Structure 1
Amino acid sequence: MIDCREPARLVAFWAEALRYRPQPPPDGYPTWRDWYLSIGIPPEELGEGDCADRLEDPTGAGPRIWFQPVPEQKSIKNRLHIDLKVGGGRGVPLAIRRSRVDAEVARLLPLGARVLGGMDAPENDHYSVQLADPEGNEFCVV
């Protein structure tokens, strides 16, 4: 579960970032909104739209993620930090890992990510870029 202000916005971002897909609503319900209403969630708590607030790994291997709406904005550093591992690990030459990381960062920026910093330490055979998602949650591309 990830607390957020705008679940639909983060579902769209993280679906692309993780190569996941929005999780369909439970059987028998055309939208998540219909399901939430059926379990007694008041309409005023749901806002507008179909309330799609969950992701799933299309392969079934990764965890499902629920984006829980909360009223407050993010105000401190994350307690959970996600690394998107695209470089291939230390068995891959650093120049190739750097190129892969930079390509992934370039893919994520138009989706709403922003660069916070990076670590370029050739002496440690390491390269990564720290980003923030559209609500400011930090993660790294390594």
Structure 2
Amino acid sequence: MTFDCVDAQVVATFWCRALGYVEAPPPTGWSDWPSFLRDHDVPEEEWGDGAAIRPATGEGPTISFLKVPEPKSVKNRVHLDVKVSGGRHVDQELRLTRIRAKESDLVAHGATTQREDVVDGHLDHLVMTDPEGNEFCIA
């Protein structure tokens, strides 16, 4: 999965925090990213144009971020859900506490809350945007 963005490093750092991910290591055969980029003739001024993150365990999907010239212009057709509540079967006060704590942390790191979706009188999830306006939910 790849996010197009204006600042790959900023967006990758945000998503590391949101998902508990870490910077992905360079491909097998290279000891670091500068060596890989140099070996692939990427000019140094473009080294910050991309980033990759993965789960801290190494198991699970890698997410890439790629600088593009055009800004985001429409709503995402695909988005990530950051699941922190434990599900609808969890006590509503505990769910609310977990969702609000994650919201507070991510807002402090550049996210914006767009709306609150309520089901049966209780907060079900928040619709948020990352620092570049990509939508995601906290559930």
Tell whether the structures are fold-level matches, with TM greater than 0.5.
yes
Question: Which residue of the other structure, out of 51, 54, 57, is the alignment partner of 2:55?
Answer: 57
More strand per residue: 1 or 2? 2
Aligned pairs (5 A) from 1:40-55? 40-44=41-45, 46=46, 53-55=51-53
Distance 2:20 2:92 in 1: 24
Distance 2:61 2:90 in 1: 27
- Residue 37 of structure 1: SS of its match in structure 2? helix
Distance 2:30 2:57 in 1: 23
Partner of 2:130: 133
Residue 14 of structure 2 contacts residue 110 of structure 2 at CA under 8 Å; is this kept in 1?
yes
Matched, 1:81 2:79: yes
Please report the RMSD computed on the Cα atoms of aligned residues, expressed in angstroms: 1.9
Residue 94 of structure 1 contacts residue 127 of structure 1 at CA under 8 Å; is this kept in 2?
no
TM superposition shift of 1:39:
1.3
- Residue 53 of structure 1: SS of its match in structure 2? strand
Matched, 1:9 2:3: no
Question: Which residue of the other structure, out of 89, 92, 95, is the alignment partner of 2:90?
Answer: 92
Identity %: 36
Partner of 1:28: 30
Distance 1:129 1:103 in 2: 12
Q: Which structure 1 residue ranges, 5 or more long, are not aligned?
A: none
Which moves more between the two structures, 112-121 or 19-28? 19-28
1:35-87 per-residue CA deviation (whole Å, 9 max, x = no partner) reads 2231133445x16x5x6600011123320011011111100000211111111
